[in-house]
Structure 1
Amino acid sequence: MPPHHVAWWRPLFLIALMPIGVLGNLEGDALNAFRQSLIDSNNVLESWDPTLVNPCTWYHVTCNVQNSVVRVDLGKAGLSGTLVPQLGLLSNLQYLELYSNDLSGVIPVELGNLTALASLDLYQNNLNGTIPDSLGQLSNLRFLRLNDNSFTGNIPVSLSTITGLQELYLSRNNFTGQAPDFYNLSKLENL
């Protein structure tokens, strides 16, 4: 077989290997998009190097044994800026801790894709708009803290369907309308 016929399979071989590293790159790209939307005056995200294979060596990021992001801990980090839809790509994320910053804008509906999420802490920011209905899809959520922001509109009824919810903090916002009935949430300890 002539040499030019041998080389055709090499690109296919490389493509077959790609899924091994794609997850880390996808998650790194998602977190890098978030970083690009932020003003980080204290340089807490200095270690977030987008050229690395995955973000598991970055400060404030925790990964599982499969090198998938399970935690982002940026509470009280002095960050301002906005949340980005790409955060919804962190499919194994369990804890998103962004409390006590100066984040503004809306909660992207894509955060409803984070079905492994156990804790979403966005309290004490300057977030506004309505709480997306998609957060009701977070069936593993135990802690939802959205207090001390500037949310408006109705509290989504979908939040009352998250049966594992233990803590739900919504106070000090600008909600209108009637609150959903949360009494059927048997595990709810703090409302």
Structure 2
Amino acid sequence: MEASTCTSFWGFFFCVSLTLTIIQLVCANSEGDALYTLRRTLSDPDNVLQSWDPTLVNPCTWFHVTCNQDNRVTRVDLGNSNLSGHLVPELGKLEHLQYLELYKNNIQGTIPSELGKLKNLISLDLYNNNITGTIPSSLGKLKNLVFLRLNDNRLTGPIPRELVKVTSLKVVDVSNNDLCGTIPITGPFERIPLDNFENNPRLEGPELLGLASYDTNCS
């Protein structure tokens, strides 16, 4: 009886461990697929993405990618890498991502609204690119976001009021774009210096209470 019970216990333990391992591998493969989708849209003249091999079990051995102990992607560091191309919606599948660093490249196109799914994101650094379109309101869902640097792009439209609710924000820089509307003054924006909004010719000064609707008329 005791031997049977023991065998049953270890059999159950093995099955649970195997299941967890398979789940981790599937998730890692999904994240690798997402990153490889990004790679395929980018021009990489300096071959900084040469190690991004989609045939590997997970992307944790790729250069410029950092993972946690569960082989989930937590950092993508591709700042100042002479890359051009577009961001992809698949980046929203990197559930554990904390740092997305793509500054000082030649990234074009828009910021995918799917980045609002990155609930663990701490830093979003897309500054010094050629990104167009608006700042997605979905970024207001990033409740752990501390650093939002979108300066020196070609962004248009208003500063989303959803960002006012991201109380973790310490740094917001949207200078040198073509934003319009007014500058928020509540929530984390109370402590953001006005220099971080400069050189947006159509952006008005800090909003007056009750005039936030002004932003809905700009594009």
TM over 0.5: yes
Cα drift, residue 188 of structure 1: 4.4
Query: What are the superposed Cα offsets for residues 24-61 of structure 1, whole Å, 9 maximum, x if unpaired?
Result: 10000000000001000100000000000100000000
Structure 1 stretches of 5 or more lacking a match? 1-12
The one-letter code matched in structure 2 to 1:37 is T
1:120 paired to 2:124: yes
Partner residue in 1 for 2:43: 39
Tell me the distance in 1 between the aligned counterparts of 2:187 and 2:97.
27
Q: 1:111 aligns with which of 101, 110, 115?
A: 115
**CA apart distance, 1:18:** 3.9
The residue that corresponds to 1:132 in the other structure is: 136
Instruction: Give the aligned partner of residue 27 of structure 2.
Output: 23
Conservation of the 8 A alpha-carbon contact between 2:89 and 2:112: yes
User: Match of 2:213?
Assistant: none
Q: Is the 8 A contact 2:24 2:70 kept in 1?
A: no
- Distance change (3 Å), C-alpha of 1:53 and 1:63: same
Cα offset, 1:189, TM superposition:
5.5
State the identity %: 55
Contact 2:164 2:189 in 1 (8 A): no
Give matches, 1:56-135, under 5 Å: 56-135=60-139
The aligned amino acid for 1:121 is: D
What is the CA distance between 1:154 and its match in structure 2? 0.8
Conserved in 1, the CA contact under 8 Å of 2:66 and 2:76? yes
Q: Give yes or no for the alignment of 1:179 onto 2:183.
A: yes
Match of 1:9 in 2: none
Question: How many residues in Structure 1 have an aligned counterpart in Structure 2?
Answer: 177
Give the whole-Å Cα distance in 2 for the aligned partners of 1:187 and 1:32: 39
Question: 1:20: how far off?
Answer: 3.4
Whole-angstrom distance in 1 between the partners of 2:192 and 2:66: 28
The residue type equivalent to 2:106 in the other structure is D
Q: TM-score, normalised by structure 2?
A: 0.77
8 A contact 1:164–1:187 mirrored in 2: no
